Amino acid sequence: METLLSYIPLDIALIVDNFDRFMYGVWVTLNLTFLALLLGGLLAIPMAIARASKHPVFNPLIQIYTYVFRGTPLLVQTYLIYYGVGQFDVIRNSWLWDPVLSSAWWCALIAFTLNTAAYTTELLRGAIADTPTGEVEAAIATGHSYRSRMRRIILPSAFRRAIPAYSNEVIFMLHGSVIASTITLQDILGVGRWLNGRYYLAYEGFITAAVLYFLIVLCITWAFRWFERRYLRHLIRRSEGETPDITPAPVA
């Protein structure tokens, strides 16, 4: 084992010694990413409904918002919030500065939340608009009001159909969260950069970071596969003429 390790051109001991730091980095990455996804998702639901129902006031406003946040890079948005906002004395002297905007963590959370909310809004809007007419007509025919139609038929159906596309958004957000390391946060990449800064070894820090991100994406993919199997079962297409579950067992 010892001799095998000596062939790997990496300082494994250094990675092992700093494993705690990397685990802390994993925690920072996960909590930022998933908190942003949660808050962004909650913001996105009403905005998607307003967009899909073409609300006369909110629809154009939300459309401008999603244009801006989907049209600019997350890095720029984060810099604007972290470095840009601090330039204004008004903000620095307000209550917003001390607990919130002076902290890198809050700035990252705000930027990430607004960004993912914009993408999720458009994704959900599409899913809502794509609801099969039959489902809506059936709901109307059975006497559902607009509200109850939305709540009991359209949204559950749209959420399910949005799952595959949303898994991409989750992975993009995870990868986008590396931007936290540019505003001093010690997320996974932040720890990788710390290691490079301290020992001048680029591979050790960045390969460890890459492996950690990869493992997280693997978990996310598995989780979504499970969700899809569970919640999209009714949409799995069977081939023409096939009758379900009566294929004869192979003869031994």
Partner 1 sequence: MIRRTVLTTALTAALAAIAIPAAAQDALRIGVEGAYPPFSSTSSDGTLVGFDIDIAKALCAEMQRECELVQQEWDGMIPALKAQKFDAIVASMSITEERKRQIDFSDKYYQTPARVVAPKGADFEGTPEGLAGKRIGVQRGATHQCYAEKMFPDAEIVLYGSQDEVFRDLALGRVDAQLSDSLIAKEGFLDTDAGADYEFLGGDHLDIECYGEGVGIAVRKGEEELRDALSAAILAIREDGTYAEINDKYFEFDIYGGRPAAE
- Residue 60 to residue 46: CA distance in whole angstroms: 14
Which tokens go with 27?
A: 């925690």
* By the rule CB under 8 A, 92 interacts with partner 1: yes
Nearer to partner 1 by Cβ, of 59 and 103: the residue is 103
Q: Does 196 bind partner 1 (CB under 8 A)?
A: yes
* Whether 107 contacts 153, CB under 8 Å: no
Complex with partner 1: residue 87 or 239, whichever CB lies closer: 87
**Judged by CB under 8 A, does residue 63 bind partner 1?**
no
Q: Is position 197 an interface residue for partner 1 (rule: CB under 8 A)?
A: yes
Q: Is 75 in the site for partner 1 (CB under 8 A)?
A: no
Instruction: Give CA separation, 66 vs 62, 117, 156, 167, in Å.
Output: 6, 8, 23, 19
Shortest distance, CB of residue 141 to partner 1, whole angstroms? Answer: 60
Which of residues 19, 27, 67, 83 is near partner 1 by CB under 8 A? 83
Residue nearer to partner 1 on the CB measure, 53 or 196? 196
The yes or no reply on residue 198 touching partner 1 (CB under 8 A) is yes
- Min dist CB 97 to partner 1, Å, is 9
* Of 166, 160, 164, nearest in space to 231 by CA: 160
- What are the angstrom distances between the C-alpha of 12 and each of 6, 17, 18, 90, 180? 9, 9, 10, 49, 26
CB atoms within 10 A of CB 83: 11
CA 23 and chain centroid, separation: 20
Rounded to whole angstroms, the Cα distance separating 30 from 106 reads: 15
Residue 2 has a CB neighbour count (10 Å cut-off) of 5
Confirm or reject binding of residue 106 to partner 1 (CB under 8 A): no
How far CA 163 is from CA of 57, 156, 212, 228, in Å, comes to 29, 11, 24, 7
Site size toward partner 1 (CB under 8 A) is 19
Least Å from the CB of residue 3 to partner 1? 22
* By CB under 8 A, residue 27 contacts partner 1: no
- Tell me how far, at minimum, the Cβ of 129 lies from partner 1, in Å: 43
DSSP E strands in the chain: the ranges are none
105, 194, 224, 231: which one binds partner 1 (CB under 8 A): 194
10 binds partner 1 (CB under 8 A): no
Q: Which residues bind partner 1 (CB under 8 A)?
A: 83, 86, 92, 102-104, 182, 184, 186, 190, 193-194, 196-202
